[in-house]
Amino acid sequence: MKILRIVAPMTLGLLLQGCAAGAIGITLATAGAGAGMTAGVEHTLNGIVYKTFASPANEVRFATLKTLDRMGMPLTDDQKTDTGWKLSASAKDRTVDIELESLTDMTTRIRVVANEGFIFLKDSATATEIILQTAETLQDDAAVARGERRRKASAQ
């Protein structure tokens, strides 16, 4: 019984350590957007950031590639997987791993992990910024597409 008194709180500590950043972890809400993006709540756990976009995987991947290029993070890996795409990029002593999971034809979930030097060190600030910038790129792309459609319609 004595050992339980020591081990139980520690086990609880292990299970709850991801919640240190906020009340129940950090959540990310994107309010108002084109490209089918409305207010949503995403979660991070130990520096892993997620977001689901109401956009096809092709468009989310392209927006992610453009974002990485704009942020000056060279792509080191780009592979198609069974469920979507797996991308990797580098930034100083960090490696950024991005997984795009195609949930439906029009819905894609992005998962970003920025590993800082060693596998246990996560840079959640950079991972969050990549998702925020990707969301903005998607909005820009949607605006450009709308403009092109409008121009074509007015030309006809």
Minimum CB separation from another protein for residue 25, in Å? 6
Backbone angles phi, psi at 128, to 5 degrees: -65, -45
Minimum CB separation from another protein for residue 96, in Å? 12
Torsion 123-128-129-130 (CA) sign: positive
Give the Cβ contact number of residue 131 at 10 Å.
Answer: 23
- 136 in the Ramachandran plot: left (φ > 0), alpha (ψ -120 to 50) or beta? alpha
57 to 96: interface string for another protein, x by CB under 8 A: -xx-xx--xx--xx---xxx-x-x----x----x--x-x-
What is d(CA 113, CA 122) in angstroms, rounded to the nearest whole number? 7
Residues 127-156 that bind another protein (CB under 8 A): 128-129, 132, 135-136, 139, 145
Burial (Cβ within 10 Å: 0-12, 13-18, ≥19) of residue 133: middle
Which one of residues 36, 82, 116, 146 is an interface residue with another protein (CB under 8 A)? 116
Nearest CA-CA partner of 83 in 63, 62, 98, 103: 103
Which one of residues 20, 154, 155, 156 is an interface residue with another protein (CB under 8 A)? 20
State the residues that interact with another protein by CB under 8 A.
Answer: 2-3, 6-7, 10-11, 13-14, 17, 19-33, 38-39, 41, 46-47, 56, 58-59, 61-62, 65-66, 69-70, 74-76, 78, 80, 85, 90, 93, 95, 105-106, 116-118, 120-125, 128-129, 132, 135-136, 139, 145
